[in-house]
Structure 1
Amino acid sequence: MVMGAPAPASAAPTLHYYAIAPGTSVNVRSGPGTNYTIVRVLAAGSQVLIYCQSPGTTVSGYYGTSNIWDNIDDGEYISDTYVNTGSDGYIAARCS
């Protein structure tokens, strides 16, 4: 790096917390679909960070019907239909 040169732009996206549907507890699964094991349950009123999103099982939930699943931690996914993202589409990078 050259002294006095601007720092390179960070490629890391800014993460935001998103609210779970009101009055709803949500199953957290080990993968992007209802056929994956439930690893824990989020309590009503929880908020989550979405690290990436992946297509999976289509689910009908509080915010409509979708096949988008949100990765909220290592090996933890919830259906996007229970997260208030303000969008019916992808709001984060696809999981690799």
Structure 2
Amino acid sequence: MATEDIEIAGAGETAAAEPLSAESTRTYPLAPGYSVNVRSGPGTHYSIVRTLPAGSSVPIYCQCPGESVSGYYGTTNVWDNIANGQFVSDAYVKTGSDGYIAPRCA
């Protein structure tokens, strides 16, 4: 397994048996075989908050521009906010898009 100095978001969707609600959040998978560092801001110079294991999926609450990162899904400066004060590079998250798929972070 490779460990990359990046930020990432997870995969999958919420259980289909439940109706969609404010608590239902879509998640996106990380690049296969990669554990991903979660950072306190949108760049590799921000501190590592935690590391997501390979096979993880993450929610994306908002996205913002930051440091450009080259990863499994290409090169991008888009960073995904996966929790309060937690960011991963979109280069390691399978969103199905090269651009923004969530609102811009305030």
TM-score normalized with structure 1 length: 0.85
- Name the CA distance, whole Å, in 2 between partners of 1:41 and 1:32: 15
Equivalent residue runs for 1:1-96 within 5 Å: 15-96=25-106
**1:40-75 deviation per Cα after TM superposition (whole angstroms, max 9, x unaligned):** 000000000000001000000000000000000000
- Name the CA distance, whole Å, in 2 between partners of 1:54 and 1:15: 19
Q: Look up the equivalent residue of 1:30 and give its one-letter code.
A: S
For the aligned residues, what is the CA RMSD? 1.1
- Name the CA distance, whole Å, in 1 between partners of 2:25 and 2:73: 21
Q: Look up the equivalent residue of 1:35 and give its one-letter code.
A: H
Aligned with 2:91: secondary structure?
helix
- Name the CA distance, whole Å, in 2 between partners of 1:22 and 1:94: 26
| Offset of residue 16 of structure 1 | 1.2
Number of residue-to-residue matches in the alignment = 84
- Name the CA distance, whole Å, in 2 between partners of 1:35 and 1:21: 21
- Name the CA distance, whole Å, in 2 between partners of 1:87 and 1:15: 18
**1:14-58 deviation per Cα after TM superposition (whole angstroms, max 9, x unaligned):** 741100000000010000111100010000000000000010000
Any stretches of 5+ residues in structure 1 without a counterpart?
Answer: 1-11
Any stretches of 5+ residues in structure 2 without a counterpart?
Answer: 1-21
Percent identity between the aligned chains? 68
